[in-house]
Amino acid sequence: MSDLLADLRAQLGDRYRIERELGGGGMSRVFVAEELALGRRVVLKVLPPDMAATVNTDRFRREVQFVARLQHPHIVPVLATGEDAGTLWYSMPYVDGDTLRGRMSAGAMTVREVITVWRDMLDALSYAHKAGVVHRDIKPDNVLLSGRHAVVTDFGIAKAVASATSTDGGSAALTGIGFVVGTPAYMAPEQAAGMTEIDPRADVYSTALVAYEMFTGTSPFGGMTPARALASQVQTMPAAPRTLRVDLPPAIDALLMRCLAKELDDRPASADAVLEALDAIDTAGGATTPAAQTKGAGGAARTAPASRGRGIAFLGVALAAAGVATWLLMKGGSTRTASAPTERDLLIVASFAHEAKDSSYSRAVSEALRIDLQQSPKVRVAEPQLVARTLQAMRVAPDAELNDSLARDLGRRTGAKAFVTGALRPLGTGYAITARLVSVADGSEVAALREPAKSSSELLDAIDRLSKALREQAGESVSSLRASPALPSVTTASIDALVAYAVATEYMRNGEQFLASQQYEKALEIDSTFASAWSGLSTALSNMQVRRADRDRAVLRAFNLRSKLPPVERLKIESRYHSARGEFTEEMAAHKALLAIEPTNYAALNNLGRLMMGQGRYAEAEPLLRAALVSRPGSIAPWEMLYDAALARGDSALVDSLRRTSTSVSSPRAPIAVASDRAASAGDYTSIAKLLDSILASKPAVDVQGPAATRRFTLQLLRGQLGTAERDLNGALSELAAKVDPSAMFEGAANLAEARIVALDDSSGARARLAKLETLVARSGAAAEDQKTLYRAFVHARAGNVAQARRMLAAAEPLLPRDTTWRNWIGGEIALAEGRPADAVRSFRRVLGAELFCTICGSGGLARSYDALGQRDSVVAIYEKMLANRDPEARWGEDVFERARALKRLGELYEERGNVAQAIRRYREFVELWKDADPALQPVVQDVRERIVQLEQKRG
């Protein structure tokens, strides 16, 4: 305590004269000080060092600055916030008076006194809620009494700490290092359950608990352990306050119990609503009863029996009724005000028979119809991926021709109302296209249509007429059809380009992304304005995670041609465009707009779930991903993300359930994901190594081989097998890179250079390798987006090539994401290389939690910075938080270059402290990780083994 006080006086002495410490809660240490420039007394609130070490500084300051705008008679305002030498603080006016906690401990409060305080609290909350601020930590300690009135303090601070610290991106009950964000005894059930979207009704609940305690002298959930209090908030209703205070007006009793409802929609909707109810009670004279407090026998407050089931029902809300729940989530409303849009009828486009010499034309007819029918506001067309997944579930090949019988079975499985089928027949020098609309329910023919084409050049116009006739049969208005553009203008004027596009679509149905990308490129060579082909190419390349420059170019071309796309496809490409630019807010908006049109759209559900996962908002991601799986059964992407979310949250029941359903996932990656993700979540990299070796030995397809080989390479670096990794890079990975993505070699070479710094402490060797890499990049002619410039700059900084890192960072400025994560990350390494650890702390703290898809990335750099400053407690806190993370992808992102050092350093620090058990535990994990490391690293492993023996002897 004295060290922190001395540090504060040294850091802030020119601005504040610190008088004394008042104490503090779990989230701050509180000091009384004089602000020298204005001669006024203030309160300085300082985050504890262990918490401050893991806080994203920029995010914390943004949140505090936002709430500093609150100006209200019953709100204690934030005056200033700052960061000095790694210490985060904010200041508020000093209020000369007692806390509500102190007042309650002094004796019973009258009903009138309680209502006055309650009303002041609600008045403050009403103002804040309208400004978009939810307090999240209402409790007697945060209410001050000044004269006859109450003022509320620390508005928005719980949100600021949660947003800047927690691994779930917001307002979970606990941060990643165990601090309670909010106070368990006063926390709303949705906060206690870990939900991240908290609205004003949470404050209504907490304020009612404070009022309950003022009226009765009893805190319903006080005196419990934090874990017990959190569980009780979700599951247990407190006793009615009139059972503890018999003279309490019935209307007040009823209002309190409404405010304390576990279900959100059972509470008053706002602080204003509670104020109105209080005013109505006052007007009716219901709150004028003289004060008296009644307790049970012996003076002990009686406790009501637990109400079983309500908490379980509350926790199940997020997972119930995926379609409606998803719509409500998107609209941000409640069941009282929002209604789901009408879902358009699903239609399947089946195979068209062919009697022409070139059967590819019949595939083009099906594909052109599918594209044009997507413009209809009356129907939605089954996507090729949905068809493929459903066929596989039916044990039918995904590329099977959809005859009438199979199309009808498919319709029953997917819920389609009808299917379209037909034939393409030669007719003189031209063709005749026939189409039938068939009911799935009874197989009856709803409509039969025929259109002639004098030649192949007129095929698209004939398909356009046919499609519009089908749309009219489906109930689309004449005015809508007239406003709809002609098929060639929304697809291509070239039947050959359409043929190539149809072939690409078939490959996509079969999951053959590489072959699909080649066909999309063929279509674009014929017609470079074919928007759907650009969109398809961007999807295929994105799924393979290769050739970023080509990916971005495809997205940009599709975006510029988006007026030629049907509405759903247009929103899809807009979301991809914003994603490529790092504009995640705009990407989310595009997904939500798509769901407003089509609530069961797979792409929007899956990608919105992906974004929630990336922010660590697992509870919000789950219903979206579940709905995506319902929309497209057997899909690997939402299934694997659900699996990762379950692992990250420690939900063993969901993990086991998903593992059992992995056989229904129509991708060879599913069994790999089951084994590797679970092992990565637990840090069990030995079993992953065996799995990857067996997969690659089986010579899998490129789509599996590429990710498996890349992961094995990074795993070798993690386990200290640099020699084996280098052989893989120059052998198997080099061949794959030449075939799929040549720029992958740049990243691999930079990985090896960084590994030499981490494992061998060989900065000079790393610099030599980087020099060769720069020559390779210069000769490659690769596009700027594919040169891995930002990562190369990072490794240069870590190797001590500071000037080179700065030049590359400046050159890559257009590539920086919006949140400037890379700039701060590279800046932190530069500061460390230049011997400025305090500056490095500031940079790395801006990285931690800001990286969208890795909530712990930057932990290693931050720990090394605190180590350089000699702040060992912070080093331990950061490393332990990093190792406690259970998100498999986040683990891969940081463990590769930081896990070995973290384990060894933790062992050393615990040994220094005399914590023998923890030291042995971390040392053993290090030995297990590096037991098969290169010979050059074995002396380090042997030294750690000897330390373990010595510690075990010491422990006896």
Q: Which residue has the higher pLDDT, 642 or 818?
A: 642
What is the residue whose two structure tokens read 């498996």?
708
In 622-728 the beta strands, taken as DSSP E runs, fall at none
Spatial contact of 854 and 890, defined as CB atoms under 8 Å apart:
yes
Between 168-177, 235-244, 729-738, 910-919, the lowest mean confidence (pLDDT) is in: 168-177
What does the alpha-carbon distance between residue 893 and residue 723 come to, in Å, rounded to a whole number?
Answer: 21
Spatial contact of 60 and 49, defined as CB atoms under 8 Å apart:
no
Amino acid identity of 250?
A: P
Tens of pLDDT, residues 494-525: 878 888 888 887 777 666 778 888 888 998 99
What is the residue whose two structure tokens read 């350093």?
905
What does the alpha-carbon distance between residue 61 and residue 65 come to, in Å, rounded to a whole number?
Answer: 6
What does the alpha-carbon distance between residue 809 and residue 815 come to, in Å, rounded to a whole number?
Answer: 9
> Residue 51: helix, strand or coil by DSSP?
helix
What letter does residue 399 receive in the DSSP assignment?
T
Q: Would the pLDDT of 449 be above 90?
A: no
Q: Which residue has the higher pLDDT, 151 or 296?
A: 151
**CA 551 vs CA 252, 512, 517, 625, 710: distances in Å:** 62, 17, 11, 25, 20
User: Within a 13 Å sphere around the CA of 706, how many CA atoms are in the beta-carbon half?
Assistant: 17
Spatial contact of 511 and 491, defined as CB atoms under 8 Å apart:
no
What does the alpha-carbon distance between residue 142 and residue 706 come to, in Å, rounded to a whole number?
Answer: 55
What does the alpha-carbon distance between residue 942 and residue 724 come to, in Å, rounded to a whole number?
Answer: 21
With b meaning 16 or more CB within 10 Å and e meaning fewer, what string describes 774-808? beebeeeebeebbbbbbbbbbbbbbbbbeebbbeb
Question: Which tokens belong to 838?
Answer: 């305090």
Q: What confidence score (pLDDT) does residue 359 get? A: 64
Over residues 631-646, the mean pLDDT reads 82
What does the alpha-carbon distance between residue 169 and residue 198 come to, in Å, rounded to a whole number?
Answer: 12
Over residues 278-296, the mean pLDDT reads 51
Q: Which residues pair with 450 in a beta bridge?
A: 434
Indicate the CATH number for domain 98-296+309-316. 1.10.510.10
Spatial contact of 190 and 198, defined as CB atoms under 8 Å apart:
yes
| Cβ-based neighbours of 774, under 8 Å, separated by 6 or more | 792
What is the residue whose two structure tokens read 């709100």?
75
Task: Starting at the earlier edge strand, list the strands of the sheet with 80-84.
Answer: 16-23, 29-35, 40-46, 87-93, 80-84
Q: Quote the distance between the C-alpha of residue 783 and its chain's center.
A: 30
Question: Which tokens belong to 297?
Answer: 């026998």
How many CB atoms are closer than 10 A to CB 154? 24
Domain ranges of the chain: 2-93, 98-296+309-316, 344-487, 849-956
What does the alpha-carbon distance between residue 832 and residue 868 come to, in Å, rounded to a whole number?
Answer: 8
What letter does residue 78 receive in the DSSP assignment?
P
Give the phi and the psi of residue 87 in degrees, each rounded to 5: -100, 125
Among 90-104, 177-191, 377-391, name the most confident range. Answer: 90-104
Over residues 123-144, the mean pLDDT reads 89
Spatial contact of 636 and 339, defined as CB atoms under 8 Å apart:
no
Q: What confidence score (pLDDT) does residue 578 get? A: 84
**CA 612 vs CA 66, 463, 584, 894, 912: distances in Å:** 23, 41, 11, 20, 40
Between 449-458, 600-609, 722-731, 911-920, the lowest mean confidence (pLDDT) is in: 449-458
What is the residue whose two structure tokens read 């019949």?
362
Question: Which tokens belong to 710?
Answer: 């890349």
pLDDT band at 773 (very low <50, low <70, confident <90, very high): very high
Q: Which residue has the higher pLDDT, 484 or 457?
A: 457
Spatial contact of 205 and 212, defined as CB atoms under 8 Å apart:
no
Indicate the CATH number for domain 849-956. 1.25.40.10
Exposed / middle / buried, residue 338 (Cβ in 10 Å: 0-12, 13-18, 19+): middle
Q: What confidence score (pLDDT) does residue 497 get? A: 84
Between 177-191, 307-321, 551-565, the lowest mean confidence (pLDDT) is in: 307-321
User: CA 410, 642, 605 angle in degrees (round to 5)?
Assistant: 60
Give the phi and the psi of residue 426 in degrees, each rounded to 5: -65, 140
Closest among 456, 437, 453, 432 to 361, alpha carbons compared: 456
pLDDT band at 175 (very low <50, low <70, confident <90, very high): very low
**CA 340 vs CA 86, 474, 626: distances in Å:** 48, 22, 18
Q: What confidence score (pLDDT) does residue 59 get? A: 67
DSSP-derived secondary structure for 224-282? S-HHHHHHHHHH-PPPPGGGT-TTS-HHHHHHHHHHT-SSGGGS-SSHHHHHHHHHHHH
Architecture field, domain 344-487: 3-Layer(aba) Sandwich (3.40)
DSSP-derived secondary structure for 544-610? HT--HHHHHHHHHHHHHTGGGS-HHHHHHHHHHHHHHTT-HHHHHHHHHHHHHH-TT-HHHHHHHHH
Q: What confidence score (pLDDT) does residue 900 get? A: 95
Q: What confidence score (pLDDT) does residue 942 get? A: 96
Amino acid identity of 360?
A: S
Over residues 168-189, the mean pLDDT reads 56
Q: Would the pLDDT of 760 be above 60?
A: yes
Residue 130 annotated as lining a ligand binding site: no
Q: What confidence score (pLDDT) does residue 849 get? A: 64
For strands 345-354 and 149-152, give the pairing: unpaired
Indicate the CATH number for domain 2-93. 3.30.200.20
What does the alpha-carbon distance between residue 917 and residue 952 come to, in Å, rounded to a whole number?
Answer: 9
What letter does residue 180 receive in the DSSP assignment?
B
What does the alpha-carbon distance between residue 332 and residue 749 come to, in Å, rounded to a whole number?
Answer: 46
Is 137 assigned a catalytic role? yes
Between 417-421, 622-626, 649-653, 790-794, the lowest mean confidence (pLDDT) is in: 649-653
Q: What confidence score (pLDDT) does residue 156 get? A: 58
Q: Would the pLDDT of 325 be above 50?
A: no
What value does the mean pLDDT of the chain take? 79
Q: Would the pLDDT of 546 be above 80?
A: no
Between 179-188, 495-504, 739-748, 805-814, the lowest mean confidence (pLDDT) is in: 179-188
Percent helix, strand and coil across the chain, each rounded to 5?
Answer: 60, 10, 30
Q: What confidence score (pLDDT) does residue 181 get? A: 52
Spatial contact of 126 and 270, defined as CB atoms under 8 Å apart:
yes
Q: Which residue has the higher pLDDT, 700 or 933?
A: 933
Over residues 74-92, the mean pLDDT reads 82
Spatial contact of 419 and 411, defined as CB atoms under 8 Å apart:
yes
Question: Which tokens belong to 397?
Answer: 């090949």
What does the alpha-carbon distance between residue 192 and residue 221 come to, in Å, rounded to a whole number?
Answer: 12
Task: State in Å, rounded, how far the first CA of the chain is from the last one.
Answer: 35
What does the alpha-carbon distance between residue 397 and residue 724 come to, in Å, rounded to a whole number?
Answer: 40
What does the alpha-carbon distance between residue 326 and residue 329 come to, in Å, rounded to a whole number?
Answer: 5
pLDDT band at 349 (very low <50, low <70, confident <90, very high): confident
Tens of pLDDT, residues 848-863: 866 556 778 899 999 9
User: Within a 13 Å sphere around the CA of 26, how many CA atoms are in the beta-carbon half?
Assistant: 18
Between 120-129, 233-242, 711-720, 749-758, the lowest mean confidence (pLDDT) is in: 233-242
Over residues 487-493, the mean pLDDT reads 68
- Kind plus residue range of the DSSP H or E element containing 171: none
Over residues 155-182, the mean pLDDT reads 49
Q: Would the pLDDT of 638 be above 70?
A: yes
Question: Annotated catalytic residue: which of 50, 58, 123, 137?
Answer: 137
